[in-house]
Amino acid sequence: NPLKPRVIYSSEQARLIAKKRIPRIIFDFIDGATGTESTPKRNFAAFDKIKLQPRVLKNVSVRNLNTSLLSEKFSLPFGFSPMGMSGLSCPNADSFLAKIAIEKNIPVVASTAASISLENMRNKAGEHSWFQLYSASTLDETLPLIERARAAGYKKLVLTVDVPQVSKRIRDLQNGFAMPFKMGPIQFIDFACHPWWSIPMLLNGVPFPENFLVDGKKEFKRDADRSAADWDFLKKLRDIWTGNLVIKGVTHSEDALRIKKIGCDAIWVSNHGGRQLDSAPAAIDKLSLIRTAVGKQFPLIFDSGVRSGDDIVKALALGANFVMLGRPILYSLAAGGESGLNSFVESISDELSTVMAQLGLTSISQIDKNCLVGSS
């Protein structure tokens, strides 16, 4: 029964429940990656290789998970990555993301391809919401969306730069995943076999990428060509966006340095969870090089492969100031709706706190390279 509150202990548990509970076509959209799906595996393997060094007798009885980023204070050092069509995970998923971001005092990043309009997300999540921008090829074509974000009150804009072209995901192609849904016999059977998902979804209205309503008409441009965007584009965007500008999808230190020089406020190191390049390096393996390139003070955000409290500590130790969670958030929503997500956030926070105790740490700012085996 999906209405039963769920206790989620780990991302993998949530993933397995989600796999049973939601239609295959939806699970594969969330879980899948590009090509042979080797990049997510590389992300996990790289995290696995990193070892944390316990320290003892440090009096860790009071531990604090607060941190600050871009002049804001957060109660936890992580937030929710932007994910298009999150609303497919469970009915009202976007409202749950907003509600829990407020309750836990963490950021939620609304995607351009979100299943809720950027205005609606801002109404629900207020200052906790940031807006993620997928640009068109030219700034002129992108201006209306930027203007909407500004008018809605967003102060933090995240420009995703690792999707010059949408990469193909084989599972989606095989399943006939398309927006809006194409309802053929395979999809019909898939949905009929998962009534706990399908019935409430139909009653609530099938999610749609609301930011793409053009003149009241549903016009979804997931494959919009943004391949012509270049450094000049970024300079112009920097000039017109007066709030914080964060650049997401960076794994090369030269790119990072150039972004810093243009005057952006933060870099988000990410390989998009392997959804864009099948042979990409593990994002975590590039983090420390990027930290060295941009210097100690420059804000770095990290995602791609973070699944546990241990992983959060590893990313912070390698130079991130803040971590974002991707798929585990959608697995938890799919597994147990609001209670599933709430429970996962609590579980990963507890894990983080316990790992800090193991390492002899009482605050997030103490997490550094000395936490890693091999550093001393």
> Site for ligand FNR (CB under 6 A): which residue of 69, 76, 113, 234?
113
Nearer to ligand FNR, 132 or 343 (CB): 132
282 vs 361, beta carbon nearer ligand FNR: 282
Q: Who's near 325: CB < 8 A, 6+ residues apart?
A: 78, 79, 80, 81, 303, 306, 348
How far apart CA 330 and CA 207 sit, in angstroms, is 14
- Does 91 sit near ligand FNR (CB under 6 A)? no
8 Å CB contact between 226 and 163: yes
Query: In this chain, which stretch among 20-28, 197-205, 254-262, 267-275 interacts with ligand FNR, using CB under 6 A?
Result: 267-275
What is the number of other CB atoms lying within 10 angstroms of the CB of residue 360?
17
Residues 65-84 that bind ligand FNR (CB under 6 A): 81-84
Query: Cβ 61 to ligand FNR, closest distance in Å?
Result: 32
Is 315 a residue that touches ligand FNR (CB under 6 A)?
A: no
The site that binds ligand FNR (CB under 6 A) totals a number of residues, namely: 22
| In contact, 227 and 164? CB cutoff 8 Å | yes
- Smallest gap from residue 60 Cβ to ligand FNR (A): 28
Indicate the residue among 107 and 305 with the shorter CB distance to ligand FNR.
305
Alpha carbon distance 118, 221 (integer Å): 16
Minimum gap (Å) between residue 169 Cβ and ligand FNR: 10
Q: Which residues pair with 108 in a beta bridge?
A: 80, 129
Choose which of 129, 211, 244, 304 interacts with ligand FNR (CB under 6 A): 304
Binding test (CB under 6 A) with ligand FNR, winner from 34, 67, 111, 244: 111
Closest CA to 110 of 148, 73, 78, 158: 158
The DSSP annotation for 45-89 comes to: HHHHH--B----SS--SS-B--EEETTEEESSSEEE---TTGGGS
Stretch 25-54 residues interacting with ligand FNR (CB under 6 A): 30, 40
